[in-house]
Structure 1
Amino acid sequence: MKASSSAAASAYGGGCGGGQDVRLDGRIWRNLPAGLVDRVLALLPPGEFFRLRVVCKRWYSLLFSDSFLEASLRLSPRRQWLAFFLLSSLSTSSAVAAAAATAVPLLPALILDPATSTWLRLPLASFLPPGFSAAAADAGIICFISDAPGPKTVLLCNPLSKLVAHLPPTPLPRLYPSVGFTAGPSSLSLILAGDDLISPFAVKNLTAECFHADGATGFYSPWSTVSQLPRLCNPDPARLVFSAATFYCMSSSPFAVLAYDVAGNVWSKIQAPMRRFLRSPSLAARGSSAVLLIAAVEKSKLSVPRSVRVWSLQPCAKAWAEVERMPPEIYRQFSEAEGGRGFEAVGHGDILGVTIKGSTDVILFDFGRKEWRWAPPFPFSSSTSGELRGFAYEPRLATPAVGLIDSSSLSFQ
C-alpha cells in the first residue's frame, strides 16, 4: 500500500510553523490499523471521500462495504445542503406535457452548501432515465416522479451511490400531483395527492394515496392506503413537507394549509395567518418538528408595512407565531429582483432558502445567526431558461431505506 500511504500523507499532512510543508513518515500511515483508516475516511465530506477513492483498490471498494457504510451513517457529520433543479419557464401543465412528449434527459442537480457558500454539480443522466422530475427529498434520498400523465412511476435515488429503487406504478392516474416523502433508518413513506385524472381532458383534487414500508415491523403497504382530500381544496403541486408524523401542503383559493395525519389516514385544514393579505405563500420544514410558512404580506394600510414574513406552526397545530421578518433593506432588494412573479421556500435545519420564480437568484436565512444573505451567483449555464426548485438534501453514502424496495445499483464511472 505504498501509493496509498504517500497519497494519504499528502492529503492529511499540512503546513505548520514558518510555512514549511511537513509530510508524515509513510511508514506511520502504512502501519495504521485498517479500522482506524476507515474511521477517518468515514468522517470526510462526500467530495473528499470520492476524490480519495482513487488512492487504492481497497479505498475504492469501501463504497460497497457494509461495515464502512454503517460507520459512515454513525460518524459522518450531518450537512444542511440544498438541492436545486432547473424548471422550464413554461407553465406547469405545458412543461409536464412537453417533457413527457420529448423525454428530456435529467439536468444535473445543483447543490448549494450554505456553510461554505459554494455550488456543486451532481450529474444524474448517467443512471436515471429521461422523463422524470424531482419531486421530494429526505435522508439523502431524492424522489423522482414520471412526467407522463396517467399512473405514476416513482424512483427513489441516492445520487452519491447511484442506487435507484423503482416503486410499483400507482393504481390511480394523475397529472401533476403534490408529492411528500419521508425516510428513516428502516422505514419510508410516500404520498401523492390531488390532480386525479377523471378523464383524458379533466382533473380534480379528489384523493391521495400512500406507500409505506417499515423494515423493523415488516409492514409493507404498496399504494393501498387511499384517503379523500378535503372539499374545495387545491393542493400546491410543489411539495408536501413532513413534521411530527404529519404531511403539510398549501392549498390555494382561498389560502389554507392542508394537514395529513399518517397514522390516522385523515386530512384536515389549518387556517393560514393573515390569509387575506398573503402573496405567494409556501411551506418549509425546520428540522423534524417545526413547520414554517413563508409569504409576502401586502396590506393597503400603512400601519402594516409590506414585507416577507416567516411563521412557525405552534404545538397545538392550529395557531401560527411570527418568528422572522425580512429587514426593510433586504426586502427592497428582494422585491426588485422578484418583481411580483412569486417565490418558493425550502428549509433544511437552520437554513431557509427562497427561490424567485423565473430567476436563478436564491436568498438564504440562517436561523442560528439571524442573518439574511444572498447566495453566490448561479455558476452553471444552461440552454434551458427557467427557475430553480429547491429541496432539503443531506448527502449520505448509505441510505438503508432504499433497500426496502427491490433496487438496482450502477457502479461509478
Structure 2
Amino acid sequence: MELFDCWKSSRKRKTPEEDKGGFTFSMDELNQDLLERVLSWLPTSTFFRLGSVCKRWKSVADSASFKLACSQIPSRDPWFLMVDRHLNHSIVFDSAEKGWKGLKHPPLLQRNLKSDFMPVAASGGLVCFRNAAGNFIVSNPVTGSSRELPPLDLVPENQSLHAIVMNKCSEHDSSYKLVLVFGELPKLSFKVYNSSVNCWEEEVELSRKVDETLDIESIDDGEDDDAVYFLSKAGNVVATNMQRSPSKEYSSVITCKDGEEIAYFLSPSGIVVACNLTRKSFFEYPRLLPVFSEYSIDVVQCRGEMLVILFSEFLESASLRVWRFDQDKWSWHQIAAMPPAMSHELYGKKVDVNCVGAGDQIFICLNSAEHFSYVLCDLVTNEWIDLPRCYMNGEPVEFMSAFVFEPRIEASV
C-alpha cells in the first residue's frame, strides 16, 4: 500500500553518511498538528487507508482538527459522479488517479432508493439529489453525510421547472444555496434554499431584459400557437419541448461576476437563457445554429465563466466545439474544437452531449443507441482525451451524464 510504504521508509535505519551530519527525521517525530497538516495534502482517496497504516494515523483520520486542516487546502482534483441509464449514482471517475471508483450510497439515500432520487446539481464537495415528488437531499458522496431539505411549496402545475443550481454562499462560509428557476417564458421566477437558515426564501419574479441588437425572431416566447419544429438533444425532430437525458433535464450552471449571481439554462428550444439573480432579470442569448439544424447542446461553467458545448453534423461530417460569448461584440466565438479524427467517428450516431466543467477541463459524455464514450477536454492545451470505459462484472457500464464535485471529507451538509 502506498501510505504504508511511505511510512515504513521514514523509519529506516540511518546510514553512516546520515549519522555524520545528513539531515533526516522520522514521521513519528512530527507533532500531531504538523502530521495532520502534512497528511491533509494527500489525495482524498488515500484518506480511507489511513487507518490501516498505524494507530496514530487512524486517530488522524477521525480527528476534527484534521478535517479543519483539509479545509485549508485550496482545491482538490475533481471527481465526476456518473449516472447510468438506471439513474444509478455509485461510480465516480477520479481525475487525480485517472480511474473509476465505487461509492456506497449514503444511508439517507439508501432508505429512499425506492423514491428514485437522482443527482441534479453539485457544488464544492456536495451533490444535490431530487426525486419525482420534488423532494431534495444534499449529500457529501465521500463521507456519506446527508441532509433532507425542508419540503418545498409546490410550484403551480402549469409552470415548468427549468434549472436547479447549487452555489456556495461565500469562500469563507460552509453554507450553500440551492436555486430553482421555473415558469413559462417570458414569465420566470426563482426560489432559493439557504442552508445557513435551513429554509426556502420567498419566490422572486424575473423581469425580461431585451437587447436592442438581438434579432427578435431568436427570442423564445413560448406563446406561439403554431408548432415550432426543432431537433432534440438526441437528434430527433420533435414539435414539443426539447427532450434531455433525465439526469440532465435541469442542465444549468451558475456564475458570480462583479458581485452578481447569474444562472444559465437551456430553454425548451435550445436557447441559452441567463437569469441575473442579483438584478432579478433575465435575457436570451442569440442562437449558435438555426433551429432546424441538427445539433446537441449543453452549458458548462469553467473558471467562473459560462461556456457552450455544441455537437453538429454538416455535409457528412460531425464537429464538437466549445463556444464563449463575447458581450462586447454580442456574438459567439469558438475557443476549442475536438480533433476531426475523433469527431468524424460520431457522424450519424445522433449522440446526446452531456457535459460538466471543472477548472480548465470539460468532462463530456457522448451517448446514443449506437455509441457511448467519455472525453476530457483541456481548454488550455486544447487536448482531447478518450477516457477508458468502466467495467463491472466484465461488462462495460454505459453512463449518460456526470456531475462534478471536489472530494472533500470536511464538506458539511
Q: What is the CA distance between 1:54 and its match in structure 2?
A: 3.7
1:317 and 1:209 map into 2 onto residues whose CA distance is: 29
- Identity, % of aligned pairs? 23
Q: Is 1:286 matched up with 2:302?
A: yes
Q: Distance in 2 between matches of 1:397 and 1:328?
A: 41
Tell me whether 1:376 sits opposite 2:388 in the alignment.
Answer: yes
Which residue in 1 is equivalent to 2:204? 226
In structure 1, what is the Cα distance between the partners aligned to 2:405 and 2:69? 20
Runs of 5+ consecutive residues of structure 2 not aligned to the other structure: 15-24, 209-220, 224-240
* Matches of 2:394 and 2:273, distance apart in 1: 36
Between stretches 354-363 and 57-66, larger displacement belongs to 57-66
Return 119-128 or 244-253, whichever deviates more.
Answer: 119-128
Residues 397 and 320 of structure 1, relative CA distance in 2, 3 Å threshold: same
Task: Determine if the alignment matches structure 1 residue 395 to structure 2 residue 380.
Answer: no
Distance 1:238 1:213, change over 3 A: closer
Q: Which has the higher helix share?
A: 1
Assess if the C-alpha contact under 8 Å between 2:337 and 2:382 holds in 1. Answer: no
Letter in 1 for 2:364: V
Specify which of 202, 211, 229 is matched with residue 192 of structure 2: 211
Q: How does 1:111-260 map to 2 (within 5 A)?
A: 111-124=92-105, 126-128=107-109, 129-130=112-113, 131=115, 132-148=117-133, 152-173=134-155, 178-183=163-168, 184-185=170-171, 186=173, 187-194=175-182, 207-213=188-194, 215=196, 222-227=200-205, 231-232=221-222, 237-244=249-256, 245-253=261-269, 255-260=270-275
- Structure 1 residue ranges, 4+ long, deviating more than 6 angstroms after superposition: 382-385
2:354 partner letter: E
Cα drift, residue 58 of structure 1: 5.3
Q: Secondary structure at the match of 1:75?
A: coil
Q: Note if contact 1:294-1:308 (Cα within 8 Å) is conserved in structure 2.
A: yes
User: What letter matches 2:204 in structure 1?
Assistant: V
In structure 1, list runs of 5 or more residues that go unmatched.
1-6, 15-21, 89-105, 197-203, 403-413
> Structure 2 vs 1, CA of residues 28 and 59 (structure 1 numbering), >3 Å: closer, same or farther?
closer
1:320 corresponds to 2:320: no
Call closer, same or farther: CA 1:385–1:353 in 2, change over 3 Å: closer
Q: 1:352, 1:365 within 8 Å by CA — same for their partners in 2?
A: yes
Distance (whole Å) between structure 2 residues aligned to residue 259 and residue 62 of structure 1: 45
Q: Structure 1 pair 313/55, CA: closer, same or farther in 2 (3 Å)?
A: same
Q: Does 1:273 align with 2:288?
A: yes
Letter in 2 for 1:47: S
With over 3 angstroms needed to count, the CA separation of the structure-2 counterparts of 1:56 and 1:127, relative to structure 1, is farther
Contact 1:209 1:223 in 2 (8 A): no
Partner Cα separation in structure 2 for residue 193 and residue 117 of structure 1: 35
| Within-5 A mapping of 1:26-175 | 28-56=26-54, 59-62=57-60, 65-75=63-73, 77-88=75-86, 107-124=88-105, 126-128=107-109, 129-130=112-113, 131=115, 132-148=117-133, 152-173=134-155
* TM-score normalised according to structure 1 size: 0.74
Q: Report if the CA contact (8 A) 1:8-1:29 is conserved.
A: no
Task: Give SS of 1:10's match.
Answer: helix
Q: Is the 8 A contact 1:79 1:394 kept in 2?
A: yes
Q: Secondary structure at the match of 2:365?
A: strand
TM value normalised by structure 2:
0.74
How has the CA–CA distance of structure 1 residues 324 and 160 changed in structure 2, closer, same or farther, with 3 Å as cutoff? Answer: same
Residue 11 of structure 1: aligned partner: 6
1:344 aligns to 2:329 (yes or no): no
Q: CA RMSD in A?
A: 3.5
1:333 Cα deviation after fit: 2.2
SS in 2 for 1:298: strand
Partner SS for 2:388:
coil
Q: Which piece of structure 1 moves more, 187-196 or 77-86?
A: 187-196
Deviations 1:320-341 (A, max 9, x none): 21101222111122336xx014
Name the count of aligned residue pairs: 352
Output the amino acid matched with 1:264: R
